[in-house]
Amino acid sequence: MKQWNKLSQIIFRIFTFLVLLCLSAFSCLSLCGFTSLKSIDQYSYVIAVGFDKGTSAPLKLTFQVAIPSPSSSSGDSSNSQDSTINTVECSSIDSGINILNDYLSKEVSLTHCKVLIFSEELASEGISPYINTLFNDVEIRPTCSIFISRSDSTSFLKTSGTHFQGITSKSYESTTNSIRYNGYIGSSKLGTFFSNLQDTFSCGYTTLVSVNNQNTIDQKSNVVPSMNSVGANLDSNYIAGESPINRNQDSAEHLGLAVFRGDKFVGELNGIETFSHLLVTNQLNEALVTIPNPLNETTFVDLSVELKKSTKTKVKLVNGTPFIQVTVSLDSKLLSIDSNTDYSNEENIGKIEDYASTYLKQNILEYLYKTSKVYKSDIASFGSKASAHFLTWQDWEEYNWLSHYQDSFFEVNVDMQIHSSSFLQRV
């Protein structure tokens, strides 16, 4: 009897062990996707989505879908196509995706979506319904970039990637990363843009893009009001689509910022204003600035500029009106050299420093007054600093920062130091 008990105990233990083993194996297999069994071929991976106003439906969606073929990965030909463009008119984002699912006979996946592009026309009517839906989509990452296109987004998507050996997704990545050395675009991610739309102390902004060709170069923007900027004919005064580059072909250009009030697009900022925005918001890493040469009026001086210290901003409320002080400290390198000027001379360097400081101060002031008086939009988030003057949320909401921002007045101080030039100091 004892032996029988022992034997049954061993059998029971073996049985329990086997059951647990089977359950564990089944669990592991199911967690690694065994149950869904979907291969890469069953998905259409979208690289970018364009949003325009539709003609027969409220929304026109353009999907740039990756073509997963071995030939596209080699990248040896500039004409190699790594994506296709599909356009669908629909009533909502999800219904558009559904139509595309049906058309492609594959499940559309937005997990690799790099860019969302809205046309100015659609953005000026308000984009919060689309942004809310996109942010709520678990497939789209908050780090996905948002652009506002001056041309329709379909044309922009068709031209993007052309100057990057046809590798479109790489082109979007490099555009986003170019903020590190280029002061003419801003960082515009879905997460931060959505956060700015929700905040009571700031407004949203995105990078401005456009198709660039002979027509867009000739057709100057009438949206940006003229504010008599210093050096109005400089290269930094262009916005996307206007810079005279590759006149004979369509190319995708990213330059400037699109400014939002609430969820509506209200205006554009050009290159130098974008540079000023990066300075004020501490986002500038390194950038090139061209200024008229104070020592020789017919020439220009190029400076490589970076922030020496973080930009300090103070917001005071004077009789309820915001008074904003901005102090910018910059380090710069003189890149220009000409035979008529001695750049090793301290007096000459001092003159350039003074001129550059005044030039940047005026441009920053122009940027600040344009955003406050013309666009009535606090894209630099000064409101977050103003909120420190209030004790409770009720007081802050009653004050209504965004309605007071347009009455703001500014004081800007720029301290620029030219530290060194390159190999040669004079020729």
Partner 1 sequence: MNLSKLRTFEAIAVCCIIVLNKIILNPTKNIIYETGSSSVLNIIYVCLLAILLSVGIWKVFSKFPNSDVLDIAEFSFGKTFKWFFAVAFLIYFLFVCSISVRSFVENIKIFYQKELDLRFLLIIFLLAAAIANRKGVGLVGRVASFITPLTILGIFLTFISVTGLFNWYRIFPILGYGINETFFTGASNLYAFSSLSVLLFLPPLLEKKADLKKVTMITTIITSLMLIFSITCMVLALSFSFTSSALSPMYLVIRSIEWGSFFESPEAIFTFIFILSMISFLSVFMMVSLYIISKIGKLKNGTTLSLSLAEIVLGASLIAKDIPSLNFLESVIYKYFSLIFVFGITSLVLLVGYFKKKKKGANHPDETME
Question: What are the residues binding partner 1 (CB under 8 A)?
Answer: 20, 23, 27, 30-31, 35-36, 138, 141-143, 173, 191-192, 194-196, 198-199, 201, 381, 384-385, 387-388, 390-396
Q: In angstroms, what is the minimal distance from the CB of 275 to partner 1?
A: 21
The strand pairing partners of 83, in sequence order, are 66
Four-CA torsion 140, 144, 149, 153, nearest 10 degrees? -40
Q: Select 17 or 103, whichever has its Cβ closest to partner 1.
A: 17
Q: Select 132 or 162, whichever has its Cβ closest to partner 1.
A: 132
Q: Select 20 or 317, whichever has its Cβ closest to partner 1.
A: 20
Q: In angstroms, what is the minimal distance from the CB of 368 to partner 1?
A: 18
Q: In angstroms, what is the minimal distance from the CB of 72 to partner 1?
A: 18
Contacting residues for 365 by C-beta, under 8 A, at least 6 apart: 410, 412
Q: In terms of Cα–Cα distance, which of 415, 248, 419 is closest to 328?
A: 415
Q: In angstroms, what is the minimal distance from the CB of 204 to partner 1?
A: 11
Q: Select 18 or 20, whichever has its Cβ closest to partner 1.
A: 20
Q: Select 355 or 390, whichever has its Cβ closest to partner 1.
A: 390
Element spanning 147, H or E: strand 145-149
Q: In terms of Cα–Cα distance, which of 254, 83, 289, 80 is closest to 177?
A: 254
Q: Select 198 or 214, whichever has its Cβ closest to partner 1.
A: 198
The strand pairing partners of 420, in sequence order, are 333
Q: In terms of Cα–Cα distance, which of 243, 145, 244 is closest to 191?
A: 145
Spatial distance between the Cα atoms of 82 and 167, rounded to a whole number of angstroms: 6
Q: In angstroms, what is the minimal distance from the CB of 134 to partner 1?
A: 13
Q: In angstroms, what is the minimal distance from the CB of 250 to partner 1?
A: 27
Spatial distance between the Cα atoms of 92 and 114, rounded to a whole number of angstroms: 20
